[in-house]
Amino acid sequence: MTFLFVCTIYFVLPVYWVLVSSTKSTADLFGSFGLWFAHFRLGANLRQLFAADQGIFLRWLANSVLYAGLGAVLATVISAAAGYALAKYSFRGREAIFSVILAGVMVPPTALALPLYLMMSRAGLANSYLSVLLPSMVSPFGAYLARVYAASAVPDELIEAARIDGAGELRIFARVAAPAMTPALVTIGLFTFVGIWNNFFLPLVMLSSQNLYPVTLGLTVWEGQTYRDPSFYQLTVTGAAVSAVLLIAAVIMLQRFWRSGLTRSGLTTGALR
């Protein structure tokens, strides 16, 4: 119990510090106790944040929402289709493809950044939204999880019954398999969303225009300017707090669908038995 409490403090403390620091002035950041409030000026900090550099922080936030939101949705759909096909269809090379997917899970994303940049550059897509979106759509872990879950959560009898009723394969996937796989799909979407939102190295390699930066890369640019203008310390901290709050809110929303999916899946399984 003590170990779990220490682990909780270890993970929560940085978030707490960022939230508290976002309410301070630049002077209070260095002149007051870091874990407690000083002169509360969150409103002024937020106004300064959204007005800095002609409001580019809003652009960075919109880019992050685009990359993480659209990327997570597309990655979830592709992973679900791939996992379902690998679990429920027999074809030559199925296990070889699954082995390649498992190998992809073990490859660190940073090792793929340079080859991906060379590919995007040759295709003329470097420094564009697609240069970040297209790699984000591929999730080996998502395909692996979808296959494992589809193999156990989608009974073959249910698929055969749908075929007897005249349903096509695409309709069976959309109307039968996908609802039964909801907990896995929400998990894939959640992990992918958080991973893309926090991704730093891929946008750093792919993008050169600040208008295309996600919030993680944009805040790093501001942090690099603190040596000439200390006010960027406060902009960076407040921006990090806004980013963290939005990410926490997204995770809480997705957890609600995850729990409802577990309940629906359990009721479906019980009815089949």
> Could you please report the per-residue DSSP string of 89-130?
---TTHHHHHHHHHHHHHS-HHHHHHHHHHHHHHTT-SSSHH
Is 237 inside a domain boundary?
Answer: yes
Max avg pLDDT among 1-5, 74-78, 165-169, 198-202: 74-78
Is 242 inside a domain boundary?
Answer: yes
Cα separation, 179 vs 172, in Å, equals 10
Specify the number of domains making up the chain: 1
Which residue in this structure is represented by tokens 């399984």?
269
Please tell me the total number of residues recorded for the chain in this structure: 273
Is 47 inside a domain boundary?
Answer: no
Is 49 inside a domain boundary?
Answer: no
Cα separation, 237 vs 84, in Å, equals 43
* Positive or negative torsion for Cα 246, 247, 250, 252: negative
pTM of the full predicted structure?
0.89
Domain membership of residue 213 as a residue range: 54-272
pLDDT at position 261: 52
Is 266 inside a domain boundary?
Answer: yes
The percentage of residues in the chain with a pLDDT greater than 70, rounded to a whole number, is: 94
The CATH number of residue 222's host domain is: 1.10.3720.10
Does 113 or 34 have the greater pLDDT score?
113
Q: List the one residue out of 262, 256, 214 whose CA is nearest residue 68.
A: 214
Is 87 inside a domain boundary?
Answer: yes
Does 96 or 262 have the greater pLDDT score?
96
In this model, does residue 236 exceed pLDDT 60? yes
Cα separation, 67 vs 74, in Å, equals 10
Q: What is the largest CA-CA distance in the chain?
A: 73
Which residue in this structure is represented by tokens 């990655």?
75
Measure CA of the first residue to CA of the last residue in the chain; give whole Å: 38
Cα separation, 197 vs 211, in Å, equals 16
Is 32 inside a domain boundary?
Answer: no
Cα separation, 216 vs 246, in Å, equals 13
Distances (CA, A) of 243 to 179, 204, 227, 237: 31, 18, 23, 10
The percentage of residues in the chain with a pLDDT greater than 90, rounded to a whole number, is: 66
Three-state secondary-structure class, residue 230: coil
Is 22 inside a domain boundary?
Answer: no
